[in-house]
Structure 1
Amino acid sequence: MNATKRYEIFRRLREHTPKPATELEYRTPFELLIAVLLSAQATDVSVNKATRPLYAVANTPAAMLALGEESLADYIKTIGLFRTKAKNVIATCRLLLEKHGGEVPDDRAALEALPGVGRKTANVVLNTAFGHPTIAVDTHIFRVSNRTRLAPGKDVREVEDKLLRYVPAEFKVDAHHWLILHGRYVCKARKPECHRCVIADLCEYPAKTV
């Protein structure tokens, strides 16, 4: 795929959704960090249902730590892997208080040093909370990047590196959200809805649906 076509893809996605945003509900970088931690192998909808009552009683590292692992587990028990996630969240809150004054660090290495935080989670927090031009490659972005041939790769890191190289600078901050939304609602896994896709004529997927 050439640079002109890539530019037009993002121009159209921006035109269609001028202000894309995560569907995870949050008000602070800390709330976002916890929501992203909980979202692994879970839907944003299920995470939001759990965090609404949780954040009403504990939306800071100190309050979450005071809540404790068992009580936290009760709030998030509808989410997959909730016991492991509760353990990681409590350990993360402890480190945030001990090493970062209770604040979420605006730094990749510091974020990835937190329990349960990998590269993808760090990318989401850096991008969404702090405005870094990072791209967190989830299953939707991986699928769209390969299917359209926008940034094909055999694993998520290869796709991420290609997207960072190929996405025009003016689109980079929002590219993550555009690609997720496109994959979630249009370029679906089982059957892409090519008939209502704004980039169908630019996409290089050979098996487009009618």
Structure 2
Amino acid sequence: MYFTDRMALGNKLADTLTNVRGTDAVLVCMKPSSMMVAVGMAIKLRAWILPLFYEKLTNPLDTTAKLGALEQSGEFCLNPSITENDYEYIKQEFMAQIEDQKREAMSRLNQAVNEYHGTTDPHILNNRTVILVGDVMMNSLELEVAKLLLKPLTPHRVYGAVGNVTIDVSEQFRINTDESIILDVLPSSVMGEDHYFENQDIYSDEEKQKLAVYIAQYWA
């Protein structure tokens, strides 16, 4: 499915979730590219936005692929496309390199969290409706990070809301949420994510985060 821009996608997704409007729902923005989707949804649903902070690590066996991600608490989340056996081999062969990546990633994470002027405390998700927001998702790594974030928490209900996903990602959304809104399921061989939007974002990642903070201040 194609969209005018990511705000238009957010509006479309919000129209399917009118039952949560005004309930203090929290939109967990799973990717930087999804922030304008979350902004569009937040305006319509009178919801809050919580960015998902993480840093991806490169796979030492294939520098074009990701080994996993480091979540803001410092926990590591393995890329679901890598088996545990393969990960054990990679750890044995590249332990020092992986640890170096983790240290650098944690430094960047701490800086990103400190520079964000809104709340980054995941405990605000307790007893609230949580909506995991994505734009185009071709890998479920971000969903795995979100699962790690939610694991010790007790949200009232968890929704997934995303535009286009691949088949395997759609299955993971349905397994790991109470209800998921997926507008289109793509074949495994797809174009780049930006291909599905006629117009690209006019704001930088920093400006998008400021919009998210302003929305939270408005509802407060």
Point out the structure with the larger strand share: 2
Q: Under a length normalisation based on structure 2, what TM-score does the superposition of the two structures give?
A: 0.25
Point out the structure with the larger helix share: 1
Q: Under a length normalisation based on structure 1, what TM-score does the superposition of the two structures give?
A: 0.26
**Which structure has the higher relative contact order (CA within 8 Å, separation 6+)?**
2
Larger Rg: 1
